[in-house]
A and B are shown apart, each in its own frame.
Chain A
């Protein structure tokens, strides 16, 4: 099973809502990632978890709160988002995270993403 699943596929939320994005992998990978991708732009790394511990936070605003309950699951909690946060949120996993917490050589498997719209 080389699949990373993400739920929900689509999410529309108001600026005062609280919602969560979920990601799951059963490949035994020990590194998991959140990316944000705006239309016609490349993915931008947000967070890296290595062995269930947050190892990289790319200066992401606190209205995004990641959580790694176990080695297979990764959540992204959303609160008080802004319309400019509307984007495709991608989860990825890899066997390991390299030194400095980044898997610069390990193959990353991406999920299909959650398309988020903030109204």
Chain B
């Protein structure tokens, strides 16, 4: 079983939609969870990281961790075409999920 599973998509939504990106992880001992955004031909950039359970909000982005179900989510409100990118979840020791390719259409 992979340490972190992520649906690779692709996911296409209209501008202004709420986007939900999700990952599951296997090891209940993980406590740090991160979301990276990677534009085409660029390196990943850290969007958010969370420790343990709960929510963390930063502008239009909300990261959520549910340790009971080993599920992590990233919500994007009022999505913009500039949000079009691949979103990667990562758990302890920089193990990445497969990445979800998101396209926001104007």
Asked if A81 is an interface residue, CB under 8 A from chain B, the answer is no
Most chain B Cβ neighbours within 10 Å, of A4, A44, A103, A104: A104
Interface string of B10-45 (1 = CB under 8 A from A): 000000000000000000000010000000011111
A100:B93 contact, CB within 8 angstroms:
yes
Which label, helix, strand, loop or mixed, suits the secondary structure of the A interface? loop
Asked if A92 is an interface residue, CB under 8 A from chain B, the answer is yes
In the assembled complex, the CB of A110 is this many whole angstroms from the nearest CB of chain B, namely 3
In the complex, chain A residues 78-117 whose Cβ is within 8 Å of any chain B Cβ: 90, 92, 100, 102-105, 107-113, 115
Residues of chain B touching chain A, judged by Cβ–Cβ distance below 8 Å, are 8, 32, 41-46, 49, 51, 88, 92-94, 96-99, 101
Residues of chain A touching chain B, judged by Cβ–Cβ distance below 8 Å, are 4, 33, 40-45, 90, 92, 100, 102-105, 107-113, 115
